[in-house]
Amino acid sequence: MNDYTQEELLFVWLAACAKLDDRARSAVARTCAQGLPFSELKKICAAVIQTGADGVYNTDRTPPEREAEQYLARLSEKHCFAVTPASADYPEALRAIPDPPIALFCIGRRELFSARKFCIVGSRLLPAWAAKTGKAIAAELSSRFVIVTGIAEGGDRAAIDGALSSGNLISVLPCGLDVDYPAVHAALKREIVKRALLVSEYPMGTRVQKSAFHARNRILAGLSEGVLVLAAGQKSGSLITAERALAYGRDVFALPHNAGAAQGAGCNGLIKQGAYLCTDAGDIFEMFGMERTAHAAPALTKEEQKLFAVLSAAGEGHAAALAAKAGVPVWEAQATLASLEIKGLAARAGGNVYTALKK
C-alpha cells in the first residue's frame, strides 16, 4: 500500500468513510480547499462524527485515520490508490475550483495527473459523422494533451476511442470504481485501466445517482484547460460541463451542426454565445499556440491487416459476416475489430456492425 500522510488519511476518511451526502460533501470540500492546517482538519472530522445521524459523539468509534487506513488497504488490494488535496500530485487546476473533490480514487497511470489536459464530451445520441470527427480530434489532441472524458456512449466513447491507443486518457466516473456503469462498457473499462487512468470521487460500491453526473461534470471541466462539445441538445448534460468550464475560466469549443438539427442545437447555441467553432484538432492547437504534427498510419498485425482488408472491401458489415469472409472465429474478429477501432480504422455503427475508416 502507498504511504499516506495524516492529512491524506483524514481527507480519505471524509471522502470514503464519513458517509457524507452531496450537500455535506460540497460544504466540506469548500472548507478544506482553503488549505487548512492539520489541527483544523481534525476539528472538521470531529464535527462530522458529532453531527451524524444520532447527533451524539461516539468516543468508541475507530479513529478516522485508522478507518482510512483500513479502507486504503482494501483499495490497494484492487490496485487502486487515492489522491487528496494534501497529496503532492493533486491536480492544481482542481484546487482552484470552488468545490474541489475531497479525494480522487484512481486506478491506472498516476503520472497522467501531471500532464496538460483537454476535455471532450458530447451527448449519448451522437451522429455518426460527429463521432468520427470527435474520434479523429481526440486521437490528434492526445499527442499533446491527456484527454479527459466520462465513459458513456456517444461523445465520451468517441473521445475514448480516439485517445486510448496513446494511453493519454482520463475517464471520470459518476460512481465507485468497482461499479460497471454503463454495464456494456465493462470490457472498455478494463482496457482503460490497462492503458490509461480511471478516476472517481466516490468510494467503492457507490451506485450511480442522478446528482453524481452534475458533480462529475465539474471535475471534467476543472481538470482541463479547455472543453470541446461534440453534440448537445438543448438540455444535454454536456452543456453543464461547458457552463462549468466557462465559470472556471476555461476555453470552450463546439462542433458546428446543421441548422435545425436537434442533436446540435446546444453546440450551435454555444457558438452563438462565444464558444470557439471547432472542426478539427488544428482549431484547438491554434488557440493554444501549438503547431500540428503529422501522424504516421498505425502499424497493423497480420490479423488486423486481414480483417481490415475484408472490412474495407465491404465498407460496412456485421462482425459475424466479416468473420466468415475472413475465415476466423467470431470472437477473434470482434477482438480484432475492437483493436481497429482503437487505431482509428473502424467505427462501430451500432450493435456489432462496423464501418471502415480511411487508413
Percent of the chain exceeding pLDDT 90 equals 62
Pull the grid cell for residue 94.
482542481
3-class secondary-structure state, position 347: strand
| Residue 132 and residue 103 share a domain | no
Least confident among 38-52, 129-143, 332-346: 38-52
Question: pLDDT band for position 294 (50/70/90)?
Answer: low
On whether residue 149 sits in a domain, the answer given is yes
User: Is the confidence at residue 339, as pLDDT, over 90?
Assistant: no
Q: Phi/psi at 121 (nearest 5 deg)?
A: -140, 170
Taking CA atoms, 7 is separated from 10, 32, 202, in Å, by 5, 11, 19
pLDDT score for 27: 75
The 10s digit of each residue's pLDDT in 142-183 is: 999 999 999 999 999 999 999 999 999 999 999 999 998 888
Band (56; pLDDT cuts 50, 70, 90): very low
Please state the domain count of the chain. 3
pLDDT higher than 60, residue 124: yes
Q: Return the C-alpha cell found at 57.
A: 459523539
Same domain assignment for residues 205 and 131: yes
Asked if residue 294 is part of any domain, the answer here is no
Can you say whether residue 197 is alpha, beta or left, with left for phi > 0 and alpha for psi between -120 and 50 degrees?
beta
| Residue 140 shares a structural domain with residue 274 | yes
Which of residues 287, 319, 341 is at a domain's end? 287
What amino acid occupies position 312? S
Question: Under 8 Å CB-to-CB from 183, ≥6 apart: which residues?
Answer: none
- Based on the fold, state whether residues 145 and 48 are members of the same structural domain: no
Q: Would the pLDDT of 329 be above 50?
A: yes
Of 52 and 266, the structure prediction assigns the larger pLDDT to: 266
Decide if 220 is inside a domain: yes
Do 327 and 265 have their domain in common?
no
**Residue-by-residue DSSP string for 234-296:** TT-HHHHHHHHHHHTT-EEEE----TT-GGGHHHHHHHHTTPEE-SSHHHHHHHTT------P
**Residues 155 and 259 both lie in one domain:** yes
pLDDT at residue 54 in the model: 44
More confident of the two residues 247 and 35: 247
Predicted confidence at residue 358, as pLDDT, reads 67
Angle between helices 302-314 and 330-342 (to 10 degrees): 90
295 domain residue, yes or no? no
My answer on whether 186 and 328 are in the same domain is no
For residue 36, the model assigns a pLDDT of 67
Q: Are the CB atoms for 233 and 242 separated by under 8 Å? A: no
Q: What is the CATH number of the domain that holds 338?
A: 1.10.10.10
Res 26 pLDDT > 80 = no
Instruction: Report the mean per-residue pLDDT for the chain.
Output: 88
CA 141 to CA 148: how far, in whole Å? 11
Choose the final residue of a domain: 108, 139, 163. 108
Measuring CA to CA, which residue among 136, 170, 138 is closest to residue 151?
170
What pLDDT does residue 34 have? 65
DSSP string over 24-79: HHHHHHHHHTTT--HHHHHHHHHHHHHTSTT-S--TTSPPHHHHHHHHHHHHHHTT
Q: What is the pLDDT of residue 25?
A: 76
Examine residue 296 and state whether it is found in any structural domain, yes or no: no
Same structural domain, 51 and 184: no
| Whether residue 99 sits in one domain with residue 17 | yes
Residues 127 and 196 in one domain: yes
Task: Compute and round to an integer the Cα radius of gyration of the chain.
Answer: 22
Domain boundaries, position 349 = 302-356
Residue 53 scores a pLDDT above 60: no
Tell me whether residue 69 is in a domain: yes
If asked whether residues 264 and 327 sit together in one domain, one would say: no
Last residue of a domain, one of 254, 287, 320: 287
217 and 307 part of one domain: no
Confirm whether 1 is domain-assigned.
Answer: no
Under 8 Å CB-to-CB from 82, ≥6 apart: which residues?
4, 8, 11, 12, 15, 16, 72, 75, 103, 104, 105, 106
CATH number, domain at 259? 3.40.50.450
Q: Would 293 be classed as within a structural domain? A: no
